[in-house]
Amino acid sequence: MDSWSGVADTDLLARLRAGDEDALSPLMARHERRLYGIAYGYLRNADDALEVVQDSFVKLYQLCAKIDARAEPGAWLTRVAINGAIDRYRQRKRRGVHETTVESEEWPELAVQRDPSAIDHLHAEDSRRAIERALPYLNERQRAVVTLRHFSELSLDEIASTLGVRIGTVKSSLNRALARLKTVMGEARA
């Protein structure tokens, strides 16, 4: 693996395209944890997240010939992973094993938490639970934007490009998502 340390991702992709399947391993080593973080952040389930990561690398191998040679494999993998997570989330919803999804129409019925210190009082475990309780209040796009912003630290432009939406949509999704998360997380403490 060390012999690949100075080789750029794009060069590894070029080797993969040329049929050198050994080039996949260093790409996996470089991106597996980041992709797992994104998939876990979206799905909050270790097994599902692992399968998304696995599928992403399989797709990279299978579709490498179709990827633009100038493309950054990391960005391509991020797009595949977040879309894979969204697909898996939809499958879970169809199978009825999803969290209790709360539609936006029901949102106003939630009491707004007005104790500004409530979120401060959350401890790490409470915090994790509060986030998991709050995530179902987001629609798929808001959830994806929050995941990419917080778990992958992408810029708004990169998020827009990854999700194939306009930057204005990313901004409004992030704005709304944070407002909803703030209220539900505060409520979790109340």
Partner 1 sequence: MNLSHYLHSGRLGLLAAGALSPAEADAVRTHASRCPSCGLELGDLERAHKRLLEDAAIERPLPISSEALRTRVFAQIRAEGRSRVAPRAWGITQLAAAFGLVIAGVAVGFLWSKGGIAPSDPSRPAMEIADGGDAAMNAEFYERIEKSQTRANAARYLSEAQDVLIQVTAAADCPDSPKDSVDVTRESETSRSLLQRRAAIVSGSPEALVAARGVMEEVEGLLQEVADLPQCSRRSDVDAIARRVDRKKLLMKIDLMTQELAAP
Residue 180: both structure tokens together: 């909803």
Is residue 71 helix, strand or coil? coil
What part of residues 37-76 is at the interface with partner 1 (CB under 8 A)?
37, 40-41, 46-47, 50, 53-55, 57-59, 61-63
Can residue 105 be called a binding residue for partner 1 (CB under 8 A)?
A: yes
Which class for 38: exposed (0-12), middle (13-18), buried (19 or more C-beta within 10 A)?
Answer: buried
Can residue 109 be called a binding residue for partner 1 (CB under 8 A)?
A: no
Q: Work out which of 12, 13, 43, 185 binds partner 1, going by CB under 8 A.
A: 185
**3-state secondary structure labels for all residues of 73-142:** HHHHHHHHHHHHHHHHHHHHHHHCCCCCCCCHHHHHHCCCCCCCCCCCCCCHHHHHHHHHHHHHHCCHHH
Q: Which of 190, 78, 51 is nearest to 133 (CA)?
A: 190
Q: Which of 180, 172, 42 is nearest to 106 (CA)?
A: 180
Residue 147, phi then psi, degrees to nearest 5 = -60, -45
**From residue 83 to residue 102, what is the string marking binding to partner 1 with x (rule CB under 8 A)?**
-------x--xx-x----x-
Least Å from the CB of residue 71 to partner 1: 17
**Span of 5-13, 70-78, 113-121 interacting with partner 1 by CB under 8 A:** 113-121
Residues 6+ apart with CB under 8 A from 158: 75, 148
Q: Work out which of 36, 42, 89, 137 binds partner 1, going by CB under 8 A.
A: 36
Q: How distant is the alpha carbon of residue 51 from its chain centre?
A: 14
Least Å from the CB of residue 31 to partner 1: 11
Q: Work out which of 72, 92, 122, 136 binds partner 1, going by CB under 8 A.
A: 122
> Which residues here bind partner 1, judged by CB under 8 A?
21, 24-25, 28-29, 32-33, 36-37, 40-41, 46-47, 50, 53-55, 57-59, 61-63, 90, 93-94, 96, 101, 103-106, 116, 119-120, 122, 124, 127-128, 130-131, 139, 141, 146, 149-151, 156, 165-169, 171-179, 181-182, 185-186
